[in-house]
Amino acid sequence: MMDILMYLFETYIQSEAELLVDQDELSEELLRAGFHQDDIYKSLEWLEKLAALQETEDTPYVNHSAITSMRIYTADEMLRMDTACRGFLLYLEQIDVLNTDTREMVIDRVMELDTQEFVLDDLKWIILMVLFNAPGNEAAYDQVEELLYGAEDGGLH
């Protein structure tokens, strides 16, 4: 599933190419690219839910937490995101790349992934997708993009 999301993000969204409106055409293209139908369906549904996070005022992610509040992870969240992932989320909050709302959106999207294996690099892609989709987070997106692509050139932080 992560492979499909990364492929779509790099091919259409990030490159600003026009995303095919017809899901059937998009599904066919993904099938030709070698992805499985079931994974394609799950990935498209995941992206629809990501977009829906911005379209509703009833979202639980807009919690307006106090700046001194602390996020406590559930047992399932800790199983999915190891210490490195949780530490990276905290780091991004401390440098004001993520706020409580975008952090919760990231966690929501991570928990909705249909995958057993999840690593820090996957988290970085999810963060990019969330920030790209959340209006007003262009500078934060640029910072995470630099961390993602700049990590090959040197240290992370």
> Given this model, what pLDDT does residue 151 score?
56
- pLDDT over 70 at 34, yes or no: yes
pLDDT at 67: 64
What is the percent of the chain with per-residue pLDDT over 70, rounded to a whole number? 80
pLDDT number for residue 120: 94
The label of the residue with tokens 């440098």 reads 95
pTM equals 0.80
Q: According to the model, what pLDDT value does residue 59 have?
A: 52
pLDDT for 58: 52
Among 116, 120, 130, 123, smallest CA distance to 46 is for 130
